[in-house]
Amino acid sequence: MPDQPAYNTFELYNLSKKLVIACYELTHDLPTEEKTNLTQYIRTAAVTVHLNIAQSLSLKKKKKRKKVIIIIQNALTIINAATEVLLEVGFITKENSAKLTTLITACYRAIENLKK
């Protein structure tokens, strides 16, 4: 079996994987009318975060890494904004969104360290 990719060892990569799982769990029980609307946005943004983190951890050039980091931050913003909407309309509770909010914040802080 080949060696594991280097990005697997980074805490940020594993954190973003937890974010994807939390997004899927949060959106799993949404009403039918949201299954193809905010659910799609949240899940796509979460996968975007995870895959782009894997990519950014393997990039050597700072300029390319910065572009990928902006994509990641934008996707985190989408997840956060969509979650706020779901909370406001009563489709999820504050308790349900707490884990996701914590993961978004942790990912965002860890990504700030990649900029340096």
The CA distances from residue 78 to 1, 44, 107, in Å, are: 37, 10, 13
60 within domain boundaries: yes
The enclosing domain of 36 has a CATH number of: 1.20.1440.60
1 within domain boundaries: no
pLDDT digits (tens, 9 = 90+) for 28-68: 989 887 767 889 999 999 999 999 998 887 777 888 888 99
**Between residues 6 and 24, the one the model is more confident about:** 24
**Is residue 2 over pLDDT 60?**
no
Range of 22's domain?
A: 6-115
Q: What pLDDT was estimated at residue 1?
A: 42
- pLDDT above 90 covers a percentage of the chain that reads 61
Provide the number of structural domains found in the chain: 1
